[in-house]
Amino acid sequence: MPAAKIMLIRHAEKPEGGVGPGLMPNGAENPRALTRDGWKRANALVGLFNPPDGALPRPPLAKPMSLFASGSESLRPKQTVAPLAAALNLSIRTFLKGQEVELVAAAKKSEDPVLISWQHEAIPDIAALIRGGPDSVPTKWPGHVYDLVWVLDLQPSGAWSFTQVPQLVMPSDSKNPIALDA
- Asked if residue 91 belongs to a domain, the reply is yes
* Mean pLDDT across 119-123: 97
- Asked if residue 174 belongs to a domain, the reply is no
Which positions ≥6 away from 105 have C-beta within 8 Å? none
Residue 45 has pLDDT above 80, yes or no: yes
CATH at residue 99: 3.40.50.1240
The residue range of the domain holding 81 is 5-166
- Asked if residue 178 belongs to a domain, the reply is no
- Asked if residue 177 belongs to a domain, the reply is no
Name the helix (H) or strand (E) containing 38. helix 36-49
Q: Starting at the edge strand that comes first in sequence, how are the strands of the sheet with 66-70 ordered?
A: 92-95, 66-70, 114-118, 5-10, 148-154, 160-166
- Asked if residue 79 belongs to a domain, the reply is yes
- Asked if residue 176 belongs to a domain, the reply is no
Distance CA 16, CA 22 (A): 9
54-66 confidence digits (pLDDT tens): 899 999 999 999 9
Percent of the chain past pLDDT 90, that is, above it, reads 81
Distance CA 180, CA 64 (A): 26
Percent of the chain past pLDDT 70, that is, above it, reads 97
- Asked if residue 39 belongs to a domain, the reply is yes
Name the helix (H) or strand (E) containing 79. helix 76-88
Distance CA 136, CA 61 (A): 19
Distance CA 93, CA 159 (A): 25
Residue 168 has pLDDT above 60, yes or no: yes
CA distances from 111 to 118, 122, 130, 180 (A): 19, 23, 16, 30
Rounded to the nearest 5°, which phi and psi values hold at 10?
A: -80, 150
- Asked if residue 26 belongs to a domain, the reply is yes
Q: How many domains does the chain have?
A: 1
